Chains A and B, each alone.
Chain A
Amino acid sequence: MPIFPFGAARGALLLTAMACFTYIVYHSVHALIDITIFMTLSIADLGRLYAICFLKTICWRYVSFYFRMGK
C-alpha cells in the first residue's frame, strides 16, 4: 500500500487534514483571543499567555522542515 497516495485519495486526505487543522486552529485562536479580551489574570499569567501565543505562532514554521520531498 503506498504511504503517500495520489489522485482522489490524496485530495480526500488533504481536505480531511485541512478541515481538522482549521477546526483546531479556530478554537485555539478564538480561545486565546477570548482570554486576551476578557481575562482577569495577573501580570505573570499575562506574560505566560503571551509566551504561549508567541510560541504557538513561531512553532508552526518548523513544520516545513520535516516535510521535505526530493527532486
Chain B
Amino acid sequence: MSTRVDKGSAEAEPLSPALPSVNPIHLICEYPVRHDAPLAPEPPRKMNVRGARSEGARFHLFVNSASIDPRDRARGCSNDRACGSAIATSSPRDTPAPFPASPLTPTPTDPLFPRQQPTITGLFTAFVKVNGQLRRWYEPLAPPNVISDHIPDLAGAFHATHPGGPRGDPDSPIDVDTHHALVALVIFAVAFVFNMNAALWSAQNNRCRLNLQVAYISAVAAWTHWEMYRGQDWYVAVPNAGARGQTVSFSCLRQLEWVFTTPILLLLVQNLHAYALSSLPDQQLIEAGGFAAKNPKMSSGNGSTYTPANRLRLVLADEAMILAGLVSSFFIFICAIRLTSCFVYSSCQSSRLAPREGRCC
C-alpha cells in the first residue's frame, strides 16, 4: 500500500484522496516523503497519428535534464518536473530507472503538489478577509476615535495620528511611521516578486514549494504594510486593563499578520531542513531514510542529531503562544532578548564548527 510518511513525525499514514480536505495544514506544511516510492506507472496513453508524442517527450526530457544540477541528476529523480515529464509522457516500459527513487525525494505524482498554490492563495485571501471582517466587527465596540485615524498614546488618551494630513505620527512610540511602512512595503513586494519568479522558474518541485511559501509570507507582510501605509492599521485598546488601570492596546493587524505567517515560517525552516538533507548522496539518503522510517526517534542520519518536530504540534504551539502572549502581554519582550542572544551565539558557534571540506558550496 502506498504510504505517505512525514519525515518529522515518521508516522506512516494511508494515502487517501480525502486527506488534504481533512487537514488543510497538511497542504502547506507537509513535506511529503514516500519511503516506498516506486514510480507509479501511468496507463498508456493514446499515440497521435504522427507519433510526435514520444519524440516530444524525449526532447522535453532532454531539455529538462540539461538544466538539472549534476548532483540532482546523480540522484536520478529529484528534478520532479523532468521526472514528471518522463513519467507523464513515456510508458513505464520506456522509462529507464538507473537509480532507485530516493526515499527522501517527493514523487512528482504526489497529490499535494498541485493543490499547494491554490491553498497559499486561499490563505492570503483569508488573511485579507479576516482582517477586514474583524475590523468591521470591532469598530462599534471600540472606544471612540480609536479605529484607523487614532491610536492610544502611552497615557491612555487617544489622539489623531494624521488629522487631514500624512499618516503616521512620528511622536507616537507605537504607530508605524508612513515612511517606514512604505519602505517595508517595497522590501516585501520585491521579496514577493523574487520568490514568485524563483518558484516559476524552478526546475525542482521542492524548491518551488519553498519559494512559494516565502512568497506567501512576503505577500502577507507586504499587504500588512500597505494597510499601514494607508492608515488602515487598527488598534484594539482596552481602557483600565493594566495592573494600575492603564490602557492596554495592541495592533490587531500586526497580530493577524503573525497568526497567518509565523506558522508558515516555522514550517519553512522544517522544509528547508528536509530539503537540505535530501541533497545528500544517494547511499546516505537511503540509509538515513530507511533507518529513520523504522526508528521514529532516529535523527536524519549522517551525523545529524536533530529530530524534526511534529509539524501540526509546531503550528499549534505557535498559535497558542501568540494567543497567550496577546492576552498576558509582556513576556515575549524579555524572552525575545534572551533567546535572540542565544540564537546569535549558537549560530556563530555552528558556523565556526561547520565542516566545510567535501561540501559543494
Contacts and interface: CB of A to CB of B under 8 A. Distances in A.
17 contacts: A3-B248, A10-B328, A13-B328, A20-B324, A21-B339, A27-B308, A29-B346, A33-B306, A35-B276, A41-B276, A45-B276, A52-B272, A56-B343, A57-B344, A60-B336, A67-B325, A71-B154
A60 B238 CA distance: 24
Nearest to A43: B361
Nearest to A41: B276
A34 B288 CA distance: 15
B108 interface: no
Contact of B333 (A28, A33, A52, A67): A67
Contacts of A32: 269, 273, 347
B304 A34 contact: yes
A31 to B, nearest CB: 4
A37 B276 contact: no
A46 B360 CA distance: 11
Given A10-B328, A24-B317, A71 B246 contact: yes
Contacts of A57: 340, 343-344, 347
Contacts of A2: 241
B154 A20 contact: no
B22 interface: no
Interface residues of A, number: 51
A16 B319 CA distance: 11
Contacts of A45: 276
Interface residues of B, number: 73
Interface of B: 69, 71, 152-156, 173-174, 238, 241-244, 246-251, 254-255, 265-266, 268-270, 272-273, 276-277, 279-280, 300, 302-306, 308-309, 314, 317-318, 320-321, 324-325, 327-333, 335-337, 339-340, 342-344, 346-347, 350-351, 353-355, 359-361
Contact of A69 (B317, B329, B347): B329
A4 B346 contact: no
B327 A27 contact: no
Interface centre among A16, A34, A45 (most CB of B within 10 A): A34
Interface of A: 2-6, 10, 13-14, 16-18, 20-21, 23-25, 27-43, 45-46, 49, 52-53, 56-57, 60-61, 63-71
A69 B277 CA distance: 44
Given A18-B331, A29-B346, A70-B248, A4 B242 contact: yes
Contact of A42 (B155, B320, B361): B361
A4 B276 CA distance: 42
A64 B173 CA distance: 11
A42 B155 CA distance: 52
A65 B344 CA distance: 21
B360 A38 contact: no
Nearest to B316: A20
Given A34-B305, A40-B71, A70-B242, A23 B317 contact: yes
B324 A17 contact: yes
A68 B242 contact: no
